[in-house]
Structure 1
Amino acid sequence: MTEAEQTGRPTEAAAGGEAGPRGRRRIAVLLVVAALAYLLDLGSKLLVVAHLEHHDPIRVIGTWLQLEVIRNRGAAFGIGEAMTIVFTVIATAVIVAIARIARKLYSLPWAVALGLLLGGALGNLTDRLFRSPGGFEGGVVDFIAPAHFAVFNLADSAIVCGGILIVILSFRGLDPDGTVHND
């Protein structure tokens, strides 16, 4: 039986290899990753709205990848455009859930995954709150347009990457508190 199994607490190796106040370090990682994801998303949206909106799409890789600004009031693929307030509530719930999980966060990979989710959720929530028409009904700025796929933004990418990482961590048995279980 390992030390982590005996004590119910993560070992130094399971928690990322560092001793000391591991909880605070992991929360800091979560916040730094979230801030980077949020700022990259916000900056990219400000640039594309200022320079690309109301212009023809810019071809990056022929017709396979273009930059085209759209305002999406729904979810992926424009689904649920009449439910903008519901998506705002969901984003807010995700942010609250991450804040609750962060209190017991000892795992570095989980901190990165949750930071990506938090930054992405905050990026799209900012659009829903402050972009026209505003008041929880704003359109999210999407601009990355691959051929035969939905137009998306960097916040969406952060959310998807964070979600994939969470699935991988869950399959590997790593919990946010740093413990590893073999089920």
Structure 2
Amino acid sequence: MRLYLAALAIFLADQISKVAVVFGMNLIERGEIAVWPPFLTFRMAWNRGVNFGLFAGDSDVTRWILIAVALAISGWVWIWMRKPGQPPMAQISAGVLIGGALGNVVDRVLYGAVADFLNMSCCGFDNPYAFNVADIAIFAGAAGLVLFAADPKAKDGKSG
């Protein structure tokens, strides 16, 4: 249940933030909104690739491959976390990752690319990249899985 609630919460936070900022504040037309410069700026970017635009392509093939990969990874994580013995923090981390992945999948299906709008800079460094709530969740969920997931081999005495 933790996994589902975490996934739903992240998915909704991602989609609501995108609708509010990208469409509600008309970031598509405005391009950039200074929120708390230089620390936080809303900067519109359509990401057709993965992190930092890697593997970006304008073809529908790339788009659908990235959708399939995100769904396959989400499914694998969901199956992995259904096995007994996973601690609550691992289940929550999995839900956070899955919610973020599905948020970006919805963008790719609806818009052909992921809507990125958060830009953070600091201390003389001007960050050229934008990201979104789903990206933060994917990173945090993956880190949480590394930190909290139980090693199934450890129960059998076969680890390491």
Same fold (TM over 0.5): yes
Whole-Å separation in 1 of the counterparts to 2:31 and 2:128: 18
The list of structure 1 runs, each at least 4 consecutive aligned residues, that deviate by more than 3 angstroms after superposition, is 178-183
1:30 and 1:112 in contact (8 A); partners too: yes
Whole-Å separation in 2 of the counterparts to 1:180 and 1:154: 38
- Look up the SS of the partner of 2:35 in the other structure: strand
Q: Show the counterpart of 1:24.
A: none
Q: Between the two proteins, what is the percent identity of the paired residues?
A: 31
Q: 1:169 to 1:94 in 2, by over 3 A?
A: same
**Alignment partner of 1:175 is 2:154:** no
How many residues are paired up?
Answer: 147
**Alignment partner of 1:77 is 2:47:** no
2:31 and 2:44 in contact (8 A); partners too: no
Alignment of 1:91-102 (within 5 A): 91-102=70-81
Which amino acid is the alignment partner of residue 40 of structure 1?
A: A
Which of 142, 147, 160 lines up with 2:116 in the alignment? 142
Structure 2 unaligned residues grouped into runs of 5+ = 122-126
Q: 1:179 to 1:58 in 2, by over 3 A?
A: farther
Whichever of the two has the greater Rg, that structure is: 1
TM-score (norm 1): 0.72
**Alignment partner of 1:30 is 2:3:** yes
Shift of residue 124, structure 1, vs aligned partner: 0.3
Instruction: Return 107-116 or 50-59, whichever deviates more.
Output: 50-59
Q: Show the counterpart of 1:117.
A: 97
Cα RMSD for the two superposed structures: 2.4
Whole-Å separation in 1 of the counterparts to 2:156 and 2:136: 27
1:169 and 1:175 in contact (8 A); partners too: no
Q: 1:180 to 1:153 in 2, by over 3 A?
A: farther
